[in-house]
Structure 1
Amino acid sequence: MNAHAAWSHPQLLAQVLRPRRDGRSEVALRIDALGEPRRALALEQAIRALPGVQRVAILPTARRLRVVWDTHRLSLDALVERCTAMQCPAQPLPHDDADDARAAELHDALKRLLVAGMCMMQVMAYALVIYLGAVDFVDFTTRGLFRWLGFLTTIPLVAYSAQPFFAGAWRELRARRLGIHLPVALAVALVFLASAYDTLRGAGEIYFDSVNMFVFLLLAARYVELHARHRGNAQGDAAIDAAPLLAQRRRADGTLETVPALALRAGDMAHVAEGATVPADGVLESASARLDEALLSGESRPVLRRRGERLAAGSVLLDGPATLRVECSGEATALARIGALAARARQARDFAAASDRDIARFVVRVLALTTLTAAGWLLVDPARAFDAALAVLVVACPCAFALTAPAAFARALGVLARHGVLVTDGAALDRLARVDVALFDKTGTLGVPQLGIAGVEPLRGDSREEALALAAALARESSHPLARVLADAAAQCGPPRQAEGVEAIAGAGLRGMVAGRALRLGRADFALDRAQAGIHANSALLLADADGAIAAFHLAEHPRRDAQATLDALRGDGIAACIASGDTPARVAALATRLGIADWHAHQAPADKLALLGALRAAGHVVLAVGDGSNDAPILAGADVSAALGGGTGLAQAQADLLLADDRLAGLAHARAVACQVRDIVAQGRRWSLLYNLCAVPFAALGFVPPWLAGIGMSLSSLAVVANALRTGRESGHSRQELRA
């Protein structure tokens, strides 16, 4: 099966084709060449000429091409082959309902904006005639005609373009809460109804131009914010897009076959060609290979991997070919976990939720000011009461106040995703800016363990190789950093042993059956009874059976390459560091001393770590917890903010607010810098909103601001705070480079 014909496989078609109600199918293609306008145009024309193609949509920033066509007239493999013939290799992507929803949301917002723009231009032209009539005579019949034209042209704007504001106001009223949609809906409805009434009776002022400008400029600000949010969400899609759907598997006779990547099983030998993407997580069987792991690390420099080292799905092989022994594929890969977390990030809590009470109070004040203004003018000059109250309602509308946080947070998500940090809870950024204590796990987080054959100490006459092979049989069933070290060290000790009934005890170790023997691997107080455990208390890992200790494993540990720089950056930002580890006091103290951490705690079970976390929070600290193992999951779930390493366990990642997808601690300092910048930008936007209201509302209440000018001022204010929010991340990029250096 060649690469193109493989796309006729039913398992692949089910992954990538999205059936439509009209009987056609839709597919999204990842095409890197779409960044070049000429090639993108030529490809679009070539695809439109194919039989059965109904619609082609290009998304240049996402490097995606969406095609709707009749699969009975054109097969997917023929479509992919056509792209290749145009020198634009295409990678069909799994159909994603979230991506479809985002595209539909953005398309709907754009349509409403375009309708509002068209109506605004027409109504402004009609209004010009009426304004000219104030300085030069225009007969009443002509003025009446243009008033009616303005009325008829504004109807589509109110009924269609402004519909999201009315729907939002209705939702807010049903939920018995006040939000930004209510004053907008009131302003639009009051202006339109009052102007329509004056048009019908042929007298009085009309403000169709004001309502058109108001809705158009507000929709423009919303569209900018929505586009920024979608760009941020699209960064997480890179993990999903990069996962290859095809793989080359080596048969028993040595020949290659092209199969769906999902069909790979543990133990299969996959062939990865030069320039191809690694299709599954596994172990390199070739002597060495250079890979681009930018998807996971954000680092553009190639990484050299040697035989026995693990390769992650989604990495690109720069020197090939290479042979990969598959360990896991499909949804079990690290890349798939990152993709799942990216999807979780898309559904993160509403960024503005934390400020709902502030917005509600703001809206109450706006409505109160509007009511007071109307009441005051009814006493002084009833004819001017409506105009003055309307101007206050529009000027004081809290749109700029409410748009600041979503725009800044959306921008922050995109910036952090490009630098290897996935945010799965948008509210975590606000808490991260207030953190003053960072609580770290040791093994695998701050320290990287290593084990050579000389570090294996047999205690009952077994050879080092035999003891290591027995321990590795249990270790292969765990993703704990120490277990991975043992499994990697045993790769050169012959065929792997098989373990049965392996059970992981959080913070203690592993137990299971190997060759009919009940073995325990872990801390001395877990592997041995209390009387024997004291003899081996200083051993990092022990392997034991019912007769006692079999071997001790003495692991060397050194700090992660970027641990010291990250800790220094956090300390410089006022964050104290603390270590909570299940390891022995001697080993914890050694690493803490090297990293300059005075506050450390050893022999910490998960319950002990939670107790330590509770004590810190009771003392008034805001705590960031960082870990990578399943035993860290409770503290990650309980901390104010939590971060897990990309190489950690799935359970740890599932509990974390931040995922350091590049497996580098430097992402913490970068995320902290961005979080602080978001906090400052949100504060700037809100200060601007308050200052604008303090200056403009008195003039509006005194009748000096007509409704059309109030609409322009409020809308431009919203655009200004959104534009300011898009600065997020630009000033913190240097810190990332400094930490890498």
Structure 2
Amino acid sequence: MTIAAAWADPRLAAQVLRTRRDGCSEIALHVEALHDARQVLWLEQRINALEGVRRVAIDRAARRVRVVWQTQRTSLPTLLENFAAAGCPARPLRHDEIEDARAAEMHDALKRMLVAGMCAMQVMTYAFVIYIGVVDFVDFSTRNLFRWLGLLTTIPLVFYSARSFFSGAARELRARQLGINLPVALAVALVFIASVINTLRGSGEVYFDSVSMFVFLLLGARYLELRSRHRGGAQGDALIDATPLLAQRRRADGELEMVAALNLASGDRVHIEDGGTVPADGVLESAAVQVDEALLSGESRPQQRQRGERLVAGSVLLTGPAELRVEHAGADTGVARLGALAGRVRQARTSIVGSDRDVSHFVRRVLLLTVLTALGWLLVDPSRAFDAAIAVLVVACPCAFALTVPVTLTRALGQLARHHVLVTDGNALLALARVDRALFDKTGTLTVPRLDAGTTEPLRGDSREQVLAWAMALASQSSHPLARALTDAVRGNVAPAQAQDVRVTLAAGIEGTVDGRTLRLGRAHFALNGKPTAASLAEEAMVLADEQGPLARFHFHEQPRADASATLQQLRGEGVSLCIASGDSADRVAALAAPLDINDWHARQLPADKLALLRSMQAAGHTVLAVGDGSNDAPLLAAAEVSAALTSGTDLAQAQADLLLLDGRLDGLLQARAIAVRMHEVVGQSRRWALLYNLIAVPFAAFGLVPPWLAAIGMSLSSLVVVLNALRVGRERATDTDPRHSGPTRAGEVSA
């Protein structure tokens, strides 16, 4: 199958095509062979001659071609074949709706801000003439002319630049909520309408300069917030684009065929060229290679992978070629699951409990103060009522309060993404700064288990290779740390067996049919199905058994993670008390706790026991961080105020975790806590600033001491202060020299 023919798959085409409102399809192509203007003209004419083609846009500098056409009349494979026939082979670029929406939003926000800025500068020029006219240097007709010029210049600002405020206010009213858009829209509308009326009458004050500066400065603050939010989103969303769209699959006859990577299945053999991107999770079946896993693990140094070891989708082959036996493809790959979690990260930015409620209360008070100010001045001096009410409405705008938490959180999430920490719940990040207790699982979290194949002990006369093959057949179906340790140690050394009807029991083991008989792998009590257990077996971490009894026992030794001691020591130094809760035996837990200087440890803990331990800590008033790696940790992670999981853990553990340590390093907790503490400080500073500003500005405005134009500048500058203060989060903590902070490697579109 040719590369062009592979794109006939509708599921593959959906990843690169965008459907327009007019029903046409749009695609972006990378064309390397665009060397001169004549070639560009020839290519444009050839593609435009195809049936259904509406538009061809060629950017020779960027080597990009964008085509809009009707796929019903010319298929995508036909389009690509015509590019190749013209001597310009084209590679479709992945279409990302989130990326497109993000770019469109940024472009729209920038246009609105620029229009507002140009209008504001021009209106301020007209206002200068009007203000001079107050002291009679300018005659009435000239001042009236500049009023009309100010009106005409303000119209595009109000009806275009400020439209987002009006639409936002309408949404808030339909939802019966009081948000930050309502007072902004009211202020702009009232001031503009009053100014139009006074312009038509030829008398009274006009506030076109106030409206212009108000809208421009507020749009500037929102643009900074939007840019920070999008930068943070791009960090996590890079995972979505990590895998290639096409792969070279080896057929039974040994020939290669180009197929969609999402159509790969377990057991397929894939060929990867030097410099290609691994299209699926699988096992290396050729000679040793070096891979770049910077995007996935944060490790910028090349990683050596031997025959029989795993390669992960999204990693880049630095030395090749290589042959891969697929284990997981498409949505089942590790990088795809992390990409799906990016959606939860985007939700985390808008799910802060209490933030919207605080804004709603503030808006209610602002509207009440505005009405009371107007009523008060109507009794004292009706001519000043409108100015004073507008000044209160503008100067007390809740934007500073509303922007504090979202902007600071967005900045924090972006900084944590640089440290390879993915946050799925913004509330948990706020709580992390208050954590005073940390509860750790042992196996796979504080330690890395290792199986010494030489100490595997068959118990019924079977060969060591045979029991290892049986055990691997079951262990390969689980992501538990011990199961992974067994699989990694055995892979490539024995011929694997096949397991069917596999069932996993949390905190116990795995059961399945291997070579026609039912086998159990796990704790002795589980493996022997509740039968009496010899004391020597009871202490073993893993036993393989069938219906007749034990077949083998496996000896594991555990190594503390390289960064465990330093991480725990720093947490302790920050006032966090430490605890270990493990399902392992007491002697093993004690052997780990002693060198780590942890006196509070608990052994033989079932999931319910760990949950009860957590509840007791919470009942004592502690804010608890739970760190785990394994399905039996899922209840614990779900119940803790803050939870973290290493990405080497099971899917269930990761689904329950608030923080994902993408590089599998515990010291990511230190980065997360440092940024969370800094975020807590900045939020407090911004809130105090907003409160102080309103306590000073609102009374002055209510007593008529602040004109509307000054109120607009004051409110807008207060919002800018909040945004700029939020950008300080993580700046002092950033360690850009850390090799793990290297930029992500973008995957190629074809693994070839």
Question: TM over 0.5, yes or no?
Answer: yes
Q: Do structure 1's residue 69 and structure 2's residue 68 form an aligned pair?
A: yes
Change (3 A) 1:85 1:134: farther
Q: Which has the higher mean CA deviation after the structures are superposed, 647-656 or 8-17? A: 8-17
Once residues 630 and 161 of structure 1 are traced to their aligned partners in structure 2, the CA distance between those partners, rounded to angstroms, is: 51
Residue 295 (structure 1) shift: 0.6
Query: Aligned residue for 2:540?
Result: 539
The answer as to whether partners of 1:192 and 1:208 remain within 8 angstroms in 2 is: yes
SS at match of 1:595: coil
Q: Which has the higher mean CA deviation after the structures are superposed, 457-466 or 210-219? A: 457-466
Query: Aligned residue for 1:626?
Result: 627
The answer as to whether partners of 2:420 and 2:662 remain within 8 angstroms in 1 is: yes
Residue 127 (structure 1) shift: 2.3
Map 1:722-741 to 2 at 5 A.
722-734=723-735, 737=738
Query: Aligned residue for 2:238?
Result: 238
The answer as to whether partners of 2:522 and 2:542 remain within 8 angstroms in 1 is: yes
Q: Which has the higher mean CA deviation after the structures are superposed, 582-591 or 110-119? A: 110-119
Map 1:335-484 to 2 at 5 A.
335-348=335-348, 350-484=350-484
Residue 593 (structure 1) shift: 2.4
1:116-136 per-residue CA deviation (whole Å, 9 max, x = no partner) reads: 234323433332332232234
SS at match of 1:228: helix
Name the aligned partner's letter for residue 66 of structure 2: V
Residue 558 (structure 1) shift: 0.4
The answer as to whether partners of 2:479 and 2:650 remain within 8 angstroms in 1 is: yes
Once residues 677 and 83 of structure 1 are traced to their aligned partners in structure 2, the CA distance between those partners, rounded to angstroms, is: 54
Name the aligned partner's letter for residue 673 of structure 1: A
Once residues 345 and 682 of structure 1 are traced to their aligned partners in structure 2, the CA distance between those partners, rounded to angstroms, is: 20
Query: Aligned residue for 1:247?
Result: 247
The answer as to whether partners of 1:558 and 1:591 remain within 8 angstroms in 2 is: no
Query: Aligned residue for 2:678?
Result: 677
Query: Aligned residue for 1:613?
Result: 614
Query: Aligned residue for 1:570?
Result: 571
Once residues 46 and 680 of structure 1 are traced to their aligned partners in structure 2, the CA distance between those partners, rounded to angstroms, is: 61
Aligned residues: 730
Q: Which has the higher mean CA deviation after the structures are superposed, 689-698 or 217-226? A: 689-698
SS at match of 2:301: coil
1:72-103 per-residue CA deviation (whole Å, 9 max, x = no partner) reads: 6795786799799999996621x333333333
Once residues 682 and 130 of structure 1 are traced to their aligned partners in structure 2, the CA distance between those partners, rounded to angstroms, is: 41
Name the aligned partner's letter for residue 509 of structure 1: G
Query: Aligned residue for 2:647?
Result: 646
Query: Aligned residue for 2:163?
Result: 163
Residue 180 (structure 1) shift: 1.8
Change (3 A) 1:657 1:84: farther
Once residues 126 and 101 of structure 1 are traced to their aligned partners in structure 2, the CA distance between those partners, rounded to angstroms, is: 38
1:530-571 per-residue CA deviation (whole Å, 9 max, x = no partner) reads: 522544221111112222221111101101222222222222
Q: Unpaired runs of 5+ in structure 1?
A: none
Once residues 132 and 204 of structure 2 are traced to their aligned partners in structure 1, the CA distance between those partners, rounded to angstroms, is: 16
Query: Aligned residue for 1:593?
Result: 594
Residue 53 (structure 1) shift: 7.3
Residue 664 (structure 1) shift: 1.7
SS at match of 2:674: helix
Residue 23 (structure 1) shift: 3.5
Q: Which has the higher mean CA deviation after the structures are superposed, 603-612 or 590-599? A: 590-599
1:368-389 per-residue CA deviation (whole Å, 9 max, x = no partner) reads: 4334433443343322222122
The answer as to whether partners of 1:169 and 1:179 remain within 8 angstroms in 2 is: yes
Once residues 388 and 44 of structure 1 are traced to their aligned partners in structure 2, the CA distance between those partners, rounded to angstroms, is: 63
Query: Aligned residue for 2:121?
Result: 121
Name the aligned partner's letter for residue 683 of structure 1: G
Once residues 706 and 495 of structure 2 are traced to their aligned partners in structure 1, the CA distance between those partners, rounded to angstroms, is: 84
Q: Do structure 1's residue 263 and structure 2's residue 287 form an aligned pair?
A: no
1:387-440 per-residue CA deviation (whole Å, 9 max, x = no partner) reads: 122212211212122112211111222222222111122222111111122222
Change (3 A) 1:156 1:334: same
Once residues 58 and 578 of structure 2 are traced to their aligned partners in structure 1, the CA distance between those partners, rounded to angstroms, is: 50
Once residues 729 and 45 of structure 1 are traced to their aligned partners in structure 2, the CA distance between those partners, rounded to angstroms, is: 49
Residue 223 (structure 1) shift: 1.4
The answer as to whether partners of 1:289 and 1:322 remain within 8 angstroms in 2 is: yes
Once residues 469 and 317 of structure 2 are traced to their aligned partners in structure 1, the CA distance between those partners, rounded to angstroms, is: 31
Name the aligned partner's letter for residue 67 of structure 1: R
Q: Unpaired runs of 5+ in structure 2?
A: 742-752
Map 1:87-98 to 2 at 5 A.
92-93=93-94, 95-98=95-98
- Give the root-mean-square deviation of aligned CA atoms: 3.3
Query: Aligned residue for 1:141?
Result: 141
Q: Which has the higher mean CA deviation after the structures are superposed, 201-210 or 74-83? A: 74-83
The answer as to whether partners of 1:580 and 1:609 remain within 8 angstroms in 2 is: yes
The answer as to whether partners of 1:198 and 1:205 remain within 8 angstroms in 2 is: yes
The answer as to whether partners of 2:511 and 2:521 remain within 8 angstroms in 1 is: yes
Map 1:16-165 to 2 at 5 A.
16-27=16-27, 51=48, 52=53, 54=55, 67-70=66-69, 92-93=93-94, 95-165=95-165
Change (3 A) 1:677 1:115: same
Name the aligned partner's letter for residue 682 of structure 1: V
SS at match of 1:551: strand
The answer as to whether partners of 1:235 and 1:417 remain within 8 angstroms in 2 is: yes
The answer as to whether partners of 1:670 and 1:736 remain within 8 angstroms in 2 is: no
The answer as to whether partners of 2:423 and 2:660 remain within 8 angstroms in 1 is: yes
Once residues 84 and 681 of structure 1 are traced to their aligned partners in structure 2, the CA distance between those partners, rounded to angstroms, is: 59
Name the aligned partner's letter for residue 218 of structure 1: L
Name the aligned partner's letter for residue 104 of structure 2: A
The answer as to whether partners of 1:24 and 1:68 remain within 8 angstroms in 2 is: no
1:661-687 per-residue CA deviation (whole Å, 9 max, x = no partner) reads: 222222111111111111111112112
SS at match of 2:533: helix
Query: Aligned residue for 1:511?
Result: 511
Residue 48 (structure 1) shift: 7.9
Once residues 86 and 572 of structure 1 are traced to their aligned partners in structure 2, the CA distance between those partners, rounded to angstroms, is: 65
Change (3 A) 1:87 1:436: farther
Once residues 30 and 42 of structure 2 are traced to their aligned partners in structure 1, the CA distance between those partners, rounded to angstroms, is: 17
State the TM-score, normalized to the length of structure 2.
0.89
SS at match of 1:203: coil
Once residues 77 and 171 of structure 2 are traced to their aligned partners in structure 1, the CA distance between those partners, rounded to angstroms, is: 43
Residue 115 (structure 1) shift: 3.4
Residue 331 (structure 1) shift: 0.5
Q: Do structure 1's residue 315 and structure 2's residue 315 form an aligned pair?
A: yes
Q: Do structure 1's residue 327 and structure 2's residue 327 form an aligned pair?
A: yes
Residue 335 (structure 1) shift: 0.6
Change (3 A) 1:42 1:278: farther
Residue 495 (structure 1) shift: 2.2
The answer as to whether partners of 1:562 and 1:739 remain within 8 angstroms in 2 is: no
Name the aligned partner's letter for residue 662 of structure 1: D
Q: Which has the higher mean CA deviation after the structures are superposed, 147-156 or 75-84? A: 75-84
The answer as to whether partners of 2:133 and 2:140 remain within 8 angstroms in 1 is: no
Change (3 A) 1:53 1:653: farther
Residue 233 (structure 1) shift: 0.7
Q: Which has the higher mean CA deviation after the structures are superposed, 600-609 or 83-92? A: 83-92
Residue 328 (structure 1) shift: 0.9
Name the aligned partner's letter for residue 611 of structure 2: L
Name the aligned partner's letter for residue 327 of structure 2: E
Name the aligned partner's letter for residue 516 of structure 1: G
Once residues 194 and 571 of structure 1 are traced to their aligned partners in structure 2, the CA distance between those partners, rounded to angstroms, is: 62
State the TM-score, normalized to the length of structure 1.
0.91
Query: Aligned residue for 1:198?
Result: 198
Q: Do structure 1's residue 186 and structure 2's residue 186 form an aligned pair?
A: yes
Residue 584 (structure 1) shift: 1.8
Change (3 A) 1:553 1:114: same
Residue 712 (structure 1) shift: 1.2
Query: Aligned residue for 2:747?
Result: none
1:28-65 per-residue CA deviation (whole Å, 9 max, x = no partner) reads: 5689x9xxxx99x999999988645747699x9xx997
Q: Which has the higher mean CA deviation after the structures are superposed, 337-346 or 170-179? A: 170-179
Choose between structure 1 and 2 for higher RCO, CA contacts under 8 A separated by at least 6 residues. 2
Query: Aligned residue for 1:302?
Result: 302
Name the aligned partner's letter for residue 300 of structure 1: S
